[in-house]
Amino acid sequence: MTPTSGALACGQTFGARPLLALKPQEGCWTEEFKTYLLRGTLPEKEEDAERVARHATTHCIRDGELYRRRPNDVSLRCISKEQGCELLADIHSGDCGHHSSSRALVGKAFHSGFNWPTTLNDATELVRSCEACQFHAKQIHQPA
């Protein structure tokens, strides 16, 4: 299979946010997609090459950063798992955090303009390991 190189056009992003100051990390999952989109080079393992070629159609490059194009023509910046977990922790229990559920955390991360492959699993693990969430979950919050 001959790869078609060249990054596709990105849609709009959610605007300038302070969180966009995240520094790109070398060696994370985004490198395979960047290499394929910029140079047309696929990984050596056949399974990885097929996965990258299939998923690269939903990704694009803007200003040297990898973005995932959504069906609504909004692009989400792809970040590493470590940066994503920091972002989730900040949303969940940061200065303005309110210990929301895992699905709400994922929605807020996407609404902030970020994406990584294990978003829902990371959010679920964060909520399950949050001591405050586990303590207050046992209480009934409805009026009598």
| Model confidence pLDDT, tens digit, residues 34-44 | 999 999 999 89
Identify whether residues 7 and 72 lie together within a single domain: yes
Cα–Cα distance for residue pair 92/88, rounded to 1 Å: 6
> Do 70 and 93 reside in the same domain of the chain?
no
Domain count within the chain? 2
Q: 109 versus 14: which is more confidently predicted?
A: 109
Residues 73 and 87 in one domain: no
Q: Provide the 3-class DSSP secondary structure of residue 78.
A: strand
Overall residue count recorded for the chain in this entry: 144
- What tokens appear for 32 in the block? 């395979």
| Residue 20 clears pLDDT 80, i.e. is over it | no
Same domain, 73 and 84: no
Of the three residues 30, 49, 78, the one that is the final residue of a domain is 78
Rank 19-33, 54-68, 94-108 by mean pLDDT and report only the highest.
54-68
Same domain for 68 and 102?
Answer: no
What are the CB-based long-range contacts (under 8 Å, 24+) for 69-74? 69/8, 69/10, 69/11, 70/11, 72/11, 73/11, 73/12, 74/11, 74/12, 74/13, 74/14
Q: Domain of residue 48: give its range.
A: 1-78
pLDDT number for residue 17:
43
Q: Which of the four pLDDT bands, split at 50, 70 and 90, describes residue 25?
A: low
Over residues 109-142, the pLDDT tens digits come to 999 999 999 999 999 999 999 988 888 777 766 7
Domain final residue, candidates 78, 102, 127: 78
Instruction: Dig out the tokens for 90 from the structure.
Output: 């900040």
Residues 68 and 83 in one domain: no
- Let me know whether 12 and 69 are in one domain: yes
Last residue of a domain, one of 78, 100, 133: 78
Specify whether 97 is located in the same domain as 144.
yes
Please check the confidence at residue 21 and state whether its pLDDT lies above 80.
no
pLDDT at 134 (0 to 100)? 82
Query: Are 118 and 100 found together in one domain?
Result: yes
Q: Would you call 75 helix, strand, or coil by DSSP? A: strand
The pTM of the whole model exceeds 0.85: no
If asked whether residues 106 and 132 sit together in one domain, one would say yes
Query: What mean pLDDT is reported for the chain?
Result: 82
Q: Which of 55-59, 99-103, 104-108 has the lowest mean pLDDT?
A: 99-103
